[in-house]
């Protein structure tokens, strides 16, 4: 079953059940400057999930174009891509778990109206419950009924050999949302298809969800909570449903191919690429995947108005195009128009907004390619001059010429240039963490909001506080803290102006803790216990019976209500921008993260 047929069946199925079919929202979110790209079908629907009435009604469905680039470096293996389509259906305070599960089941298994998958190859997970929300017993009951309807006794949390079909999972896997730091979210139930290749069960008999054999194809989210700025979950005024099915994965299953790159959503693109590139690129599977994926994403982004540039969306597009071109090993740009044609051949029909844009897209890609070919030639000349490549050189090549790290490494090896491996890896990891950070908000999930930046500043404030105590002594005490999405401001007790050396030492120390990728943990305890454990706090202040204590690795421990980042590697580069007096005996530091 080809992708066109799958899309059609999906939309027909839900239209028949009272759903209004919405067009895909653009990849560039319309009313949300804080976000780079649309990353899920629910993303444009957030206001309606929170209760605003949707003009098309309470039952909606569509196929949504999505771009997620947090894993851009992973593209090349069998499953990562940067552009994908999500088939989704929504209930805005209308139907809930029973109908959702029964329709998911029907669409997956019914050969007439749906996909006709063998129910024996289906497994599901449900939310196990925790302090924020109970175990999703209703979903368990509804799934049992569905399996029973075809004579399968679906056991709960039981080894596969004894009939295990339904498995409870914690929040880190079976809870979806909010898209940003706050917003609608809830427990989800995920459907897995047994592809038949790879390991099915773990040694304990339970399913192995990581081996790749069990492929998650659909996710039904029961959005009935709102997460607030304090990390609390409160019930929403309406119970919503948000489902998302990855079209590429469904195609893989329906076309019985081992990877998404062999589905009809990729094959014509790969063919166009392989007709153009030299043999050394053609036989490099990872390179072929990178080229096909990145050019596909680029065409879709340009179609929605993005242009290559050095910042934000334009930077992501530039990076996608440059990586594709590098891996192609092509020194001209003529071949690109055939690839654009192949991409448009696949997407022109489902996404009519692409109509009439062929020439424009080719022009944008060709211009960028020509620009890059010139830089690349220069970069290659630079590498050729080096007899040894240090981590810093590799970083410069990356920054100035857009040479990916792996390419610098291969290039060095193939030309017998020594590469300082240890230093290189260290610099590479550092860079990866930083770019993850730079993007933790926008670039990564594409879903930062201002409060995410604020959370980072909050964690940075703890590091700063500790570093000040380390270099200036334990007399340093917090006198005030003010955080905006742009900077942190921290007031503390200290009698004199800090020297340039002291500022530098504090800054360096904070950056060391960031580079070390320290985990941030929180625990609840009595204030006395916190004090005994050495936590920084205002002990003159009256605390409740229990306080939460946040530890950053072994470096800092402080009483605080949070929230904080999970790991200091999310912070970016810390710089002190100002040090001044506020009043006698109180200094003020302003600092930024980049
Ligand atoms: N929002 C959920 C997801 O992205 C379901 O659509 O998986």
Q: What is the pLDDT of residues 233-249, one digit of tens each?
A: 999 999 999 999 999 99
Counting residues of the chain whose pLDDT is more than 70, the rounded percentage is 92
In 3D space, the residue among 177, 207, 166, 170 whose CA is nearest the CA of residue 49 turns out to be: 177
Q: Both 363 and 485 in a single domain?
A: no
Phi, psi (rounded to 5 degrees) for 119: -60, -25
The tokens of 65 are what? Answer: 């174009």
When pLDDT is averaged across residues 478-494 and rounded to a whole number, the result is 87
Question: Is pLDDT larger for residue 430 or for residue 363?
Answer: 363
- The rounded Å distance from CA 330 to ligand 1 centre is 38
| Ligand 1 pocket residue status of 219, Cβ below 6 Å | yes
Q: Average model confidence (pLDDT) for the chain?
A: 89
Q: The whole model's pTM is what?
A: 0.71
- The whole-number pLDDT of residue 402 equals 66
Q: Is 163 left (phi over 0), alpha (psi -120 to 50) or beta?
A: left
Phi, psi (rounded to 5 degrees) for 525: -160, 170
How long is the chain?
594
192 and 216 Cβ atoms separated by less than 8 Å: yes
Question: Is pLDDT larger for residue 391 or for residue 487?
Answer: 487
Question: Is pLDDT larger for residue 165 or for residue 381?
Answer: 165
Q: Both 216 and 332 in a single domain?
A: no
| Ligand 1 pocket residue status of 222, Cβ below 6 Å | no
Q: Ligand 1: which of 60, 242, 246 to mutate, most ligand atoms within 8 Å of CB? A: 242
Residue 43 CA, closest ligand 1 atom number: 1
The tokens of 218 are what? Answer: 């659909």
Residue 86 CA, closest ligand 1 atom number: 6
Sheet with 487-493, strands from edge to edge, namely 478-484, 487-493, 586-593, 574-583
Counting residues of the chain whose pLDDT is more than 90, the rounded percentage is 66
Beta-carbon contacts of residue 165 (< 8 Å; ≥ 6 apart): 122, 123, 124, 143, 147, 152, 154, 155
- The whole-number pLDDT of residue 434 equals 56
**Cα–Cα–Cα angle for 342, 330, 417, nearest 5°?**
140
| Ligand 1 pocket residue status of 490, Cβ below 6 Å | no
Residue 42, pLDDT above cutoff 80? yes
When pLDDT is averaged across residues 385-406 and rounded to a whole number, the result is 76
In 3D space, the residue among 333, 546, 385, 258 whose CA is nearest the CA of residue 321 turns out to be: 333
Chosen domain end from 227, 261, 295: 261
The tokens of 24 are what? Answer: 């895909």
Specify if 325 maps to a domain.
Answer: yes
Specify if 406 maps to a domain.
Answer: no
Phi, psi (rounded to 5 degrees) for 76: 130, -25
Q: Please report, to the nearest 10 degrees, the dihedral formed by the alpha carbons of residues 63, 312, 303, 289 taken in order.
A: -70
When pLDDT is averaged across residues 437-458 and rounded to a whole number, the result is 54
- The whole-number pLDDT of residue 75 equals 83
In 3D space, the residue among 223, 169, 162 whose CA is nearest the CA of residue 192 turns out to be: 169
Residue 179 CA, closest ligand 1 atom number: 1
Question: Is pLDDT larger for residue 187 or for residue 406?
Answer: 187
- The whole-number pLDDT of residue 131 equals 92
Residue 26, pLDDT above cutoff 90? yes
C-alpha separations of 497 from 39, 124, 462, 587 in Å? 47, 61, 21, 7
The count of domains in the chain is 3
Distance between CA atoms of 377 and 387, rounded to whole angstroms? 18
C-alpha separations of 67 from 318, 473, 546 in Å? 14, 48, 43
- The whole-number pLDDT of residue 241 equals 98
Specify if 126 maps to a domain.
Answer: yes
Q: Count CA atoms within 13 Å of residue 90 on its CB side.
A: 30
Chosen domain end from 261, 282, 312: 261
Q: Both 298 and 354 in a single domain?
A: yes
Q: Which residues pair with 418 in a beta bridge?
A: 388
Kindly give the residue spans of alpha helices, DSSP state H, lying in 149-194. Answer: 171-174
Q: Is 415 exposed, middle or buried (0-12, 13-18, 19+ CB in 10 A)?
A: exposed
Q: What is the pLDDT of residues 329-372, one digit of tens each?
A: 999 999 999 999 999 999 999 999 999 999 999 999 999 999 98
Q: Which residues pair with 156 in a beta bridge?
A: 166
**Cα–Cα–Cα angle for 13, 23, 117, nearest 5°?**
30
Question: Is pLDDT larger for residue 313 or for residue 161?
Answer: 161
Specify if 396 maps to a domain.
Answer: no
Phi, psi (rounded to 5 degrees) for 205: 90, -10
- The rounded Å distance from CA 242 to ligand 1 centre is 7
In 3D space, the residue among 181, 191, 232, 187 whose CA is nearest the CA of residue 87 turns out to be: 191
Q: Both 366 and 246 in a single domain?
A: no
- The whole-number pLDDT of residue 375 equals 80
Distance between CA atoms of 578 and 531, rounded to whole angstroms? 31
When pLDDT is averaged across residues 176-188 and rounded to a whole number, the result is 88
Query: Looking at ligand 1, which residue's alpha carbon is closest to its atom 4?
Result: 40
Query: Looking at ligand 1, which residue's alpha carbon is closest to its atom 2?
Result: 244
When pLDDT is averaged across residues 201-208 and rounded to a whole number, the result is 96
Beta-carbon contacts of residue 282 (< 8 Å; ≥ 6 apart): 274, 288
Per DSSP, the residues of 69-89 read: -TTGGGBTBSS--SEEEEEEE
Cis bond before residue 96 (omega within 30° of 0): no
Residue 447, pLDDT above cutoff 50? no
| Ligand 1 pocket residue status of 176, Cβ below 6 Å | yes
Q: Count CA atoms within 13 Å of residue 83 on its CB side.
A: 29
Specify if 380 maps to a domain.
Answer: no
Residue 55, pLDDT above cutoff 60? yes
Distance between CA atoms of 548 and 560, rounded to whole angstroms? 6
Chosen domain end from 207, 238, 261: 261
Q: Ligand 1: which of 41, 84, 192, 250 to mutate, most ligand atoms within 8 Å of CB? A: 41
Q: Both 245 and 328 in a single domain?
A: no
Specify if 376 maps to a domain.
Answer: no
Residue 220, pLDDT above cutoff 50? yes
Residue 389, pLDDT above cutoff 90? no
Residue 487, pLDDT above cutoff 70? yes
When pLDDT is averaged across residues 282-311 and rounded to a whole number, the result is 94
Report residue 446's pLDDT band, with 50, 70 and 90 as the boundaries: very low
Residue 538, pLDDT above cutoff 70? no
Residue 40 CA, closest ligand 1 atom number: 4
Distance between CA atoms of 408 and 410, rounded to whole angstroms? 6
Q: Both 572 and 552 in a single domain?
A: yes
Q: Both 237 and 351 in a single domain?
A: no
Whichever domain contains 524, its CATH number is 3.30.980.10
Residue 56, pLDDT above cutoff 60? yes
- The whole-number pLDDT of residue 380 equals 80
Q: Both 237 and 288 in a single domain?
A: no
Whichever domain contains 18, its CATH number is 3.30.930.10
Q: Both 146 and 295 in a single domain?
A: no
- The whole-number pLDDT of residue 529 equals 87
Specify if 384 maps to a domain.
Answer: no
Beta-carbon contacts of residue 138 (< 8 Å; ≥ 6 apart): 97, 98
Cis bond before residue 563 (omega within 30° of 0): yes
Q: Both 467 and 518 in a single domain?
A: yes
Q: Both 102 and 205 in a single domain?
A: yes
Question: Is pLDDT larger for residue 50 or for residue 391?
Answer: 50
| Residue 288 domain boundaries | 266-371
277 and 239 Cβ atoms separated by less than 8 Å: no
Q: Both 274 and 231 in a single domain?
A: no
Query: Looking at ligand 1, which residue's alpha carbon is closest to its atom 6?
Result: 244
Residue 541, pLDDT above cutoff 60? no
In 3D space, the residue among 242, 133, 255, 248 whose CA is nearest the CA of residue 190 turns out to be: 242
């Amino acid at each position: 079953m080809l992708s066109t047929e799958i899309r059609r069946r999906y939309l027909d199925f839900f239209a028949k059940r009272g759903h209004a079919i919405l067009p895909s929202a653009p990849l560039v979110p319309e009313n949300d400057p804080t976000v780079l790209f649309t990353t899920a079908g629910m993303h444009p629907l957030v206001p309606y999930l929170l209760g605003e009435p949707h003009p098309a009604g309470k039952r909606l469905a569509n196929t949504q174009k999505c771009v997620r680039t947090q894993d851009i470096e992973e593209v090349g293996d069998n499953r990562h891509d940067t552009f994908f389509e999500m088939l989704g259906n929504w209930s805005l305070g209308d139907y809930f778990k029973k109908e959702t599960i029964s329709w998911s089941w029907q669409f997956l298994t019914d050969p007439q109206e749906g996909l006709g998958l063998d129910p024996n190859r289906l497994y599901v997970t449900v939310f196990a419950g925790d302090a924020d929300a109970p175990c999703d017993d209703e979903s368990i009951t509804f799934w049992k009924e569905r399996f029973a309807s075809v004579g399968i006794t679906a056991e709960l949390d039981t080894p596969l050999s004894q009939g295990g079909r339904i498995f409870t999972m914690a929040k880190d896997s079976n809870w979806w949302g909010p898209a940003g730091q706050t917003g609608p979210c809830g427990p989800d139930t995920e459907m897995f298809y047994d592809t038949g290749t790879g390991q099915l069960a773990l040694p304990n008999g339970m399913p192995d969800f990581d081996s790749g054999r069990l492929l998650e194809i659909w996710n039904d989210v029961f959005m009935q909570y709102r997460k607030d700025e304090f990390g609390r979950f409160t019930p929403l005024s309406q119970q919503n449903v948000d489902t998302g099915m990855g079209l590429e994965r469904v195609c893989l299953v329906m076309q019985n191919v081992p990877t998404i790159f062999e589905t009809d959503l990729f094959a014509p693109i790969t063919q166009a690429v392989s007709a153009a590139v030299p043999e050394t690129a053609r036989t490099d599977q990872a390179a072929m995947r990178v080229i096909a994926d990145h050019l596909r994403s680029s065409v879709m982004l340009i179609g929605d108005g993005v242009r290559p540039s050095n910042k934000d969306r334009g930077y992501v597009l530039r990076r996608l195009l440059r990586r594709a071109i590098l891996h192609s090993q092509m020194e001209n740009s003529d071949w690109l128009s055939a690839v654009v044609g192949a991409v448009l051949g696949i997407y022109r029909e489902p996404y009519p907004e692409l109509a009439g844009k062929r020439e424009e897209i080719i022009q944008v890609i060709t211009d960028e390619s020509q620009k890059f070919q010139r830089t690349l030639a220069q970069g290659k000349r630079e590498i050729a001059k080096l007899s040894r490549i240090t981590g810093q050189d590799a970083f410069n090549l990356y920054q100035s010429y857009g040479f990916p790290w792996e390419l610098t490494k291969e290039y060095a090896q193939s030309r017998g240039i020594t590469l300082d491996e240890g230093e290189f890896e260290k610099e590479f990891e550092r860079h990866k963490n930083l770019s993850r950070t730079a993007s933790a908000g926008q670039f990564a999930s594409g879903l930062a909001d201002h409060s995410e930046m604020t959370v980072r500043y909050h964690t940075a404030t703890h590091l700063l506080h500790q570093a000040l105590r380390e270099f200036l002594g334990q007399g340093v005490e917090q006198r005030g803290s003010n955080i905006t999405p742009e900077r942190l401001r921290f007031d503390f007790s200290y009698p004199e102006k800090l020297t340039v050396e002291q500022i530098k030492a504090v800054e360096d120390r904070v950056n060391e803790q960031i580079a070390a990728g320290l985990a941030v943990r929180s625990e609840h305890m009595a204030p006395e216990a916190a004090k005994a454990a050495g936590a920084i706090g205002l002990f003159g202040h009256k605390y409740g019976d229990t306080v939460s204590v946040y530890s950053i690795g072994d470096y800092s421990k402080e009483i605080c209500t949070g929230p904080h980042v999970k790991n200091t590697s999310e912070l970016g580069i810390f710089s002190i921008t100002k040090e001044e007096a506020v009043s006698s005996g109180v200094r003020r530091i302003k600092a930024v993260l980049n």
